[in-house]
Structure 1
Amino acid sequence: MLTQMLEHEGYEVHAAENGEEGMTLIGRYAFDLVITDMIMPVKDGLKFIMELVREYPDLKIMAISGGGAIKAERYLTMASYLGDIATLEKPFKRDVLLEMVRQQFAPPT
C-alpha cells in the first residue's frame, strides 16, 4: 500500500521486508529518503535506524508505527531520540503521508 501510494505520486520506491533487507538495498541504490516501520522481523526499526544514522548520517529517515507491545507513540519517540527523524503514527491518511514526504525534500527554512 505504501509503495503504491508513493509510486503513484512519481517516486521511485525500493521495498524491503525488514531492516536487514533494507541495509542490503541501501548498499545497492542511492536513497534520498528511507521510510521504515518500527516493528519488523529480523532487524526492527529501532536497530535499523541506529545503523542508518551511524552509517549514513545525512540520510533522511521517516519512522512509522501502529504500535505493538507498547504504544505507537513510544516507538516513535524512541526513534526521534536517534536524530532528526520524521515520525508518523498509523493509521495515517494518504495526504498526511505525502505532505510529510514532500517536507523531507523541501529546502531548510
Structure 2
Amino acid sequence: MRVLIIDDEELARFAIREILENAHYDVEEAENGRIGVKKQVETPFDLIITDLIMPEKEGIETIIELKSMFPNLKIIAISGGGRSRNMDFLEMSERFGANQVLAKPFTEQQLLETIKTTLNS
C-alpha cells in the first residue's frame, strides 16, 4: 500500500511517516502540493494524506487537481487550522473531494483508524 504525505512541515511529515512505516505502509513525502501532484502523476499512490495550509500550492487546490485527474484516489485532508486555528478548511476540503478529514494534532490510533476507514470506503 503506497501512501504519499504532503505537508510543508518536515516534523509533521516525519511523525506521520514513522507511524505509517511501523504499520507497514510504503511511504513517500512531498513538501507542497505542486510536488505532491507531480509524484502522483509519475508513480500513483493508493492514498494521499495532505495538509491544507501550505505555501506554493495549498491543500484544497491540490485535492481539486488530484481528483480531476484521479477521481477514485483516496485522500485524507489534515489541518491544524493555521495561525487562526480555523477548521473551516477541513469541512471545505470534503466538499472538494477529500474522503476523510483529520484535525491536527491527532493520535497514532486516530490516524490509523482514519486510513482504514478511508481505504474501506
- Asked if these proteins are the same fold (TM beyond 0.5), I'd say yes
- Displacement of 1:73 after TM fit? 2.0
What's the counterpart of residue 53 of structure 2?
A: 39
CA offset digits 1:9-46 (Å, max 9, x no partner): 10001100000000111012121110000011110001
110, 115, 120: which one aligns with 1:96: 110
Q: For 2:36 and 2:68, locate their aligned partners in 1 and report how far apart those are by CA, in whole Å.
A: 15
| Residues 86/32 of structure 1: CA separation in 2 closer, same or farther (3 Å cut) | same
Q: Is 1:105 aligned to 2:119, yes or no?
A: yes
Change (3 A) 1:83 1:27: closer
Cα separation, partners in 2 of 1:72 and 1:12, compared to 1, 3 Å = farther
The separation in 2 between residues aligned to 1:38 and 1:64, in whole angstroms, is 6
- In structure 2, which of residues 10, 19, 28 is the aligned counterpart of residue 14 of structure 1? 28
In structure 2, runs of 5+ residues without a counterpart are: 1-14
Over aligned residue pairs, what C-alpha RMSD do you find? 1.3
Contact 1:72 1:89 in 2 (8 A): no
Q: How many residues align?
A: 107
Q: How far does residue 53 in structure 1 lie from its aligned partner after superposition?
A: 1.2
Once the two structures are superposed, what CA deviation does each residue of 1:51-96 show, in whole Å capped at 9, x if it has no partner? 0111111000000000115434201011011135200000111101
Q: 2:96 aligns with which of 82, 98, 102?
A: 82
Task: Tell me the TM-score normalized by structure 2.
Answer: 0.82
SS in 2 for 1:15: strand
Distance 1:29 1:104 in 2: 20
Greater alpha carbon shift after TM alignment, 45-54 vs 23-32: 23-32
TM-score by length of 1: 0.91
Higher strand content, 1 or 2: 2
What percent identity do the matched residue pairs reach? Answer: 40
* Equivalent position to 1:5, from 19, 42, 55: 19
Cα distance in 2, alignment partners of residues 32 and 19 from structure 1 = 17
Structure 1 gaps of 5+ residues are none
42, 67, 76: which one aligns with 1:28:
42
